[in-house]
Amino acid sequence: METVGTTDLIELEGVEKVFDVRKKTGFLRRERHQVRAVDGISFTVPRGEMVGYIGPNGAGKSTTIKMLTGILTPSGGRLRVAGIVPSRERTRLAQRIGVVFGQRTTLWWDLPLIDSYRLVHRMYRIPDARFRENLDRCVELLELGALLDVPVRQLSLGQRMRGDIAAALLHDPEVLYLDEPTIGLDVISKAKVRGFLRDLNTQSGTTVLLTTHDLTDIEQLCERVMVIDHGRLMYDGPLAGLHEVGESERTLVVDLERELPPMEIESARVVKVEGPRQWLAFPAAQSAAPLVARIAARYPMADLSVREPDIEAVIAKMYAEKATS
Amino acid sequence: MKGMRVRAGRFRLYAAVAEGGFRRYATYRIATAAGVFTNTAFGLILAYTYIALWDERPGLGGYDQAQAVTFVWLGQGLLTVMALMGGGFEGELIERIRTGDIAVDLYRPADLQAWWLASDLGRALFQLLGRGIVPMAVGALVFDLALPADPLRWLAFLLAVALGALVSFGLRFLVALCAFWLLDGAGITQVVMLAGTFFSGMLLPLNVFPGALGDLARALPWSALLQVPADVFLGTHTGLGLLRTYAFQLGWAAALLTAGRLLQAAATRRVVVQGG
Amino acid sequence: MADLTKTRAGQAGQPGRAGPPGQEGTGRLAQVRSGLRAYRLISAMWIRSLMAYRLSFVMSALGNFAVTAFDFAAILLMFSQVDRLGGYALAEVAFLYGASCTAFGLADLALGSMDRLGRRVRDGTLDTLLVRPAPVLAQVAADRFGLHRLGRLTQGALVLTYALVVLDIDWAPLKVLMVPLMLVSGAGIFAAVFMAGAAFQFVAQDAAEVQNAFTYGGTTLLQYPPTVFAKDLVRGVTFVLPLAFVNWLPALYVLGRPYPLDLPVWTAFAPPPVAVACLALAGLAWRAGLRSYRSTGS
């Protein structure tokens, strides 16, 4: 059937989404203008890959996800998921994809968690044996055993997110879309969710596309990252390469034993001084070890920590460069 | 000196809260337009049924036909002002109690009851302007209404509406606080809304109610919401009678607001005991 | 975990592993069946949810009964002062009232929460319905399915029964047939109004109240005889928004009274095709609304 034989599960070619926006310009006057939320995006995702899809708010991330799930109809370009054109066969595609919207639970608020799964079981027409098998696996890996009989309204945010992820996987989707799966979660919950996703991807070979604000999600889960801004794909490649492309910098925070004038160290520069604490910026692609050694040799160092570059800053810088070049 | 300054600060605070209540509803222009449309449609339907009724019995309840039809449009105009079918602050307050957010409110320096009263009066003022005027104007275009010629009577009417808004708040504040003791406030809200619809005159002017039912309805607080302001508008109460009418509204307002204070104190104790 | 890899790998590439979509075939009929199934599943979930607050459910069912009974109480209060209204006696008005309320109650029970669509569009939760393998219309129709709405239906049915008992009607087979026909067609017409109202909210999310004018307003209008209203209003609800076919035309036939606009008698039998036409138009409006949502995302 269709393109089942090919390895690319998700295919986009010059996909566009243009919105008509009406803006108030006077008491009754409105002006129409077009916003290109997604402006010609092309990429493919092979089966079994785990890809991070990042970008600032309003960059076109969720518009892309909505087109990939069939919620929105593209204004132009070609788009296929598992060989299906999402906007044309939305309900058929629904059987083959799983979607988790980070801030919108699909679980039933007043009912025990298990009831939501029973609905999924019947709505997706999952064969009984397969449903039990998948449920058991999710319950075990996501540690849901004690929660199945608890009404969803009594679950914590982290528990609910795990519950939502399970709900999206019971029908064995080939692709899982995750929209901000770790937003608002505590550190332990984040670790649990990430661990599960990693296992899911490596063990079951489920293709995962995730959008996030949390760079750690990407670092721990995705070998490939795509950056979108102003509706365009700015970067598509490994995470390490993103730092190089963005020429971003990491920060070394050094606590000295006493207040000193700004340190002088090659290949790094002091960007801030606050009492005995000094901030040094150095290229993200460069290792911190020799830098630390150099500082330790010349200055009385009490403590230090490394800060990763802020994703928004990296993207902002990338965009600024693209605009000037 | 200091006391006065504190009081002035308080007043400014509540004025700002009231303005916030006004603005919040003013933001939803399409919703307001939709509401006006619906009020007008209901006004048209009900006006014709009243005309049919007064055709059969001219002078029923002491109203002539024009007054009866005017009553219909006053009802549509004041429906949201008095939150006769809900839609005021109470849903939000109940939600805050249910989720436990109320604990934060109780420890705020501002008084809970005064805070919500200010906000609700702001809302009522917006509803009066935004949803009261247009249906009334449409009613006046389509039908022969008994509009007062005396500007003083318009003022008297506005005062009656203001007092009615106080009574309306007092009722709904009590209802909302019940959520401290009930798991879900929807049921009690509905029961009180029902009483409000029936006993305010929204269903039929209370002076058309037969015998003892009419006497009872006119004595209950809900009559202060629609029947009383409408009667002031239609000129039924003048002179000393007008003062008696205001006293009736004020009496209920004072009683309900006091009951609200007592219930609020009890609720606060409960929150403290439960630890929020 | 190892066998898990195996099962998954063995299945990779087979489309529609969980519940083959082809099984049901395609086409309109399959879509309707799948929609009804989704409606049943989702409404069952809402009933269970409601039962989590049993006391509240009982109160809101009683409240629903009472609030609609008030409309009839108003009519009783009117008749405590007069013998006739617009030339109709209490039993005849009760018949109109019962028919209007029962037909509306059926539609309200089935689709009464469709006016929440605007809110779902605003807060983005409509998207969660769009990624499920079931028609959105069915999911939205079953949203917040509330058995407490039986209150209104019960109340309407009681008044209708009362009217049928006290009315002195010369029952002919056609008249007997007319009563159930009227209720079902009327429910269909009101269902179309609910659907069209929801479709309108795709365009104007904050305008939920507009549809109240046609639903609640419509049923209130139909509770009174047409003689009460201005000719233009009666014309409007006959030819523009055909609410008159819910109960006025068929009920006046049963009561043996002429229709005010001098319409021929056969129009009393028009409600079924009128209902079908209304539902078809509402369905088109729904599709247009959903299409516009999917192209604008708001």
Pull the structure tokens for residue B234: 């239609």
Residue-level pLDDT at B3: 64
β-pairing, A301-307 vs A249-256, is: antiparallel
B42: left (phi over 0), alpha (psi -120 to 50) or beta: alpha
Q: Kindly tell me if the per-residue pLDDT of A314 is higher than 60.
A: yes
Q: What confidence tens digit (pLDDT) does each residue in A184-224 have?
A: 888 888 888 899 999 889 888 899 999 987 778 888 899 89
Q: How many residue pairs from chains B and C have C-beta atoms closer than 8 A?
A: 114
Distance of alpha carbon B262 from alpha carbon B113, whole angstroms: 11
Residue-level pLDDT at C12: 37
CA–CA min distance A46, chain C (Å): 12
Q: Tell whether C297 lies on the interface with A, counting CB pairs under 8 A.
A: yes
Q: Tell whether A82 lies on the interface with C, counting CB pairs under 8 A.
A: yes
Q: Kindly tell me if the per-residue pLDDT of C10 is higher than 60.
A: no
Q: Please give the DSSP secondary-structure letter assigned to residue A103.
A: T
- pTM (two decimals): 0.85
Residue of A79, A81, A90 best to disrupt the C interface, most CBs of C under 10 A: A90
Chain C residues whose beta carbon lies within 8 Å of the beta carbon of residue B194? 63, 66-67, 70
Q: Across the interface, do B208 and C212 touch by the CB < 8 Å criterion?
A: no
Q: Tell whether B210 lies on the interface with C, counting CB pairs under 8 A.
A: yes
Q: Please state, rounded to an integer, the average pLDDT across all residues of chain A.
A: 87
Q: Tell whether C240 lies on the interface with B, counting CB pairs under 8 A.
A: no
Q: Tell whether B133 lies on the interface with C, counting CB pairs under 8 A.
A: no
Q: Kindly tell me if the per-residue pLDDT of A303 is higher than 70.
A: yes
Helices (H), C19-169: 28-50, 54-79, 90-111, 117-123, 126-130, 136-142, 150-166
Q: If contacts are CB pairs under 8 Å, which of residues 85-124 in chain C contact chain A?
A: 123-124
Chain B residues whose beta carbon lies within 8 Å of the beta carbon of residue C73? 198, 203
Dihedral sign (CA C80, C86, C89, C91): negative
Beta-carbon contacts of A294 under 8 Å, excluding residues fewer than 6 positions away, are A265, A266
Residue of A7, A90, A91, A104 best to disrupt the C interface, most CBs of C under 10 A: A91
CA–CA min distance C209, chain B (Å): 5
Fold that domain A249-308 belongs to in CATH = Alpha-Beta Plaits (3.30.70)
Lowest mean pLDDT across A204-218, B215-229, C268-282: A204-218
**Nearest CB to A125 within list C19, C48, C127:** C19
Chain C residues whose beta carbon lies within 8 Å of the beta carbon of residue B30? 204-207
Chain C residues whose beta carbon lies within 8 Å of the beta carbon of residue B46? 220
Beta bridge partners of A235: A227
Distance of alpha carbon C173 from alpha carbon B106, whole angstroms: 68
Residue-level pLDDT at C19: 41
Distance of alpha carbon C224 from alpha carbon C88, whole angstroms: 9
Residue-level pLDDT at A246: 61
Q: Which amino acid is at A186?
A: D
CA–CA min distance C87, chain B (Å): 9
CA–CA min distance B236, chain C (Å): 21
Q: Kindly tell me if the per-residue pLDDT of A4 is higher than 50.
A: no
Looking at this predicted complex, what is its ipTM?
0.86
Q: What confidence tens digit (pLDDT) does each residue in A245-290 have?
A: 666 778 889 999 888 889 888 888 888 888 899 998 888 777 888 8
Chain B residues whose beta carbon lies within 8 Å of the beta carbon of residue C208? 31, 34
CA–CA min distance C134, chain A (Å): 6
Report yes or no: C106 and C275 within 8 Å, Cβ to Cβ. no
Counting Cα atoms < 13 Å in the Cβ hemisphere of B86 gives 17
Distance of alpha carbon C297 from alpha carbon C284, whole angstroms: 19
**Nearest CB to C210 within list B34, B48, B193:** B34
Residue-level pLDDT at C233: 95
Q: Please give the DSSP secondary-structure letter assigned to residue B132.
A: I
Q: Kindly tell me if the per-residue pLDDT of A294 is higher than 70.
A: yes
C245-281 residues labelled b (16+ CB within 10 A) or e (exposed) = bbbbbbbbbbbebebbeebeeebbbbbeebbebbbee
What share of chain C has pLDDT > 70, as a percent? 91
Residue-level pLDDT at A1: 41
- DSSP class per residue in A278-325: EEEEEETTS-SHHHHHHHHHHS-EEEEEEEPPPHHHHHHHHHHHHHH-
Residue-level pLDDT at C44: 96
Q: Kindly tell me if the per-residue pLDDT of B153 is higher than 90.
A: yes
Pull the structure tokens for residue C207: 């305008």
Beta-carbon contacts of C273 under 8 Å, excluding residues fewer than 6 positions away, are none
CA-nearest residue to A69 within chain C is C131
CA–CA min distance B107, chain C (Å): 30
What integer is the mean pLDDT of B166-188? 86
Chain B residues whose beta carbon lies within 8 Å of the beta carbon of residue C53? 183-184
CA–CA min distance A126, chain C (Å): 5
- DSSP class per residue in B173-231: HHHHHGGGTSS-THHHHHHHHHHHHHHHSSSS-GGGS-HHHHHHHHHSGGGGTTHHHHH
Q: Across the interface, do B34 and C207 touch by the CB < 8 Å criterion?
A: yes
Chain B residues whose beta carbon lies within 8 Å of the beta carbon of residue C74? 203-204
Q: Across the interface, do A108 and C49 touch by the CB < 8 Å criterion?
A: yes
Residue-level pLDDT at A25: 64
CA–CA min distance C53, chain B (Å): 8
Task: Determine what percent of chain C falls in helix, strand and coil, rounding each to the nearest 5.
Answer: 75, 0, 20
In 3D, which of C169, C21, C209 has the Cα closest to residue C89? C169
Q: Tell whether A150 lies on the interface with C, counting CB pairs under 8 A.
A: no
Any idea which residue has 């039924």 for tokens? B236
Residue-level pLDDT at C9: 36
In 3D, which of A129, A166, A127, A126 has the Cα closest to residue A145? A166
Q: What confidence tens digit (pLDDT) does each residue in A96-150 have?
A: 999 998 788 899 999 999 999 999 999 999 999 999 999 999 999 999 999 999 9
Q: If contacts are CB pairs under 8 Å, which of residues 207-246 in chain A contact chain C?
A: none
Report yes or no: C97 and C223 within 8 Å, Cβ to Cβ. yes
What integer is the mean pLDDT of A32-58? 90
Report yes or no: B60 and B54 within 8 Å, Cβ to Cβ. yes
What integer is the mean pLDDT of C146-166? 94
Residue-level pLDDT at A28: 64
Chains in touch with C (3+ beta-carbon pairs under 8 Å) read A, B
Residue-level pLDDT at B151: 94
Instruction: Return the SS3 of A274.
Output: strand
In chain C, domain spans: 31-296
Distance of alpha carbon A72 from alpha carbon A64, whole angstroms: 9
For the domain spanning A45-243, the CATH number is 3.40.50.300
Q: Across the interface, do C52 and A110 touch by the CB < 8 Å criterion?
A: yes
How many residues are present in chain C? Answer: 298
Residue-level pLDDT at C208: 85
**Nearest CB to C78 within list B53, B186, B191:** B53
Chain C residues whose beta carbon lies within 8 Å of the beta carbon of residue A102? none
Pull the structure tokens for residue A280: 């040094």
**Nearest CB to C221 within list B33, B45, B209:** B45
Angle at B74 between CA B24 and CA C99, to 5 degrees: 100
Instruction: Return the SS3 of A34.
Output: strand
Residue-level pLDDT at C14: 40
Q: Kindly tell me if the per-residue pLDDT of B191 is higher than 90.
A: no
How many Cβ atoms sit within 10 Å of the Cβ of residue B153?
Answer: 18
Q: Tell whether A19 lies on the interface with C, counting CB pairs under 8 A.
A: yes
Q: Kindly tell me if the per-residue pLDDT of A22 is higher than 90.
A: no
In chain A, domain spans: 45-243, 249-308
How many Cβ atoms sit within 10 Å of the Cβ of residue B6?
Answer: 10
Q: What confidence tens digit (pLDDT) does each residue in B26-50 have?
A: 888 888 999 999 999 999 999 999 9
Dihedral sign (CA C254, C256, C260, C265): positive
For the beta sheet containing A30-46, the strands, ordered from the edge strand earlier in sequence to the opposite edge, are: A30-46, A8-24, A76-81
Position A26 confidence tier, pLDDT thresholds 50, 70, 90: low
SS3 letters for C135-147? CHHHHHHHCCCCH
Q: Across the interface, do B184 and C207 touch by the CB < 8 Å criterion?
A: no
Q: Kindly tell me if the per-residue pLDDT of C139 is higher than 60.
A: yes
CA–CA min distance C141, chain A (Å): 16
Residue-level pLDDT at C56: 77
Chains in touch with B (3+ beta-carbon pairs under 8 Å) read C
CA–CA min distance A283, chain C (Å): 41
Distance of alpha carbon A122 from alpha carbon A115, whole angstroms: 11
Q: Please give the DSSP secondary-structure letter assigned to residue B143.
A: S
What integer is the mean pLDDT of C234-252? 95
Distance of alpha carbon C159 from alpha carbon C156, whole angstroms: 5
The secondary element (H helix, E strand) that includes residue A175 is strand A175-179
Q: Kindly tell me if the per-residue pLDDT of A19 is higher than 70.
A: yes
What share of chain C has pLDDT > 90, as a percent? 71
Distance of alpha carbon C77 from alpha carbon B86, whole angstroms: 24
Q: What confidence tens digit (pLDDT) does each residue in C40-77 have?
A: 999 999 999 988 888 878 888 888 898 889 889 999 99
Q: Across the interface, do B208 and C81 touch by the CB < 8 Å criterion?
A: yes
Counting Cα atoms < 13 Å in the Cβ hemisphere of A90 gives 23
Q: Kindly tell me if the per-residue pLDDT of B273 is higher than 70.
A: no
Residue-level pLDDT at C24: 45
**Nearest CB to A95 within list C16, C123, C291:** C16
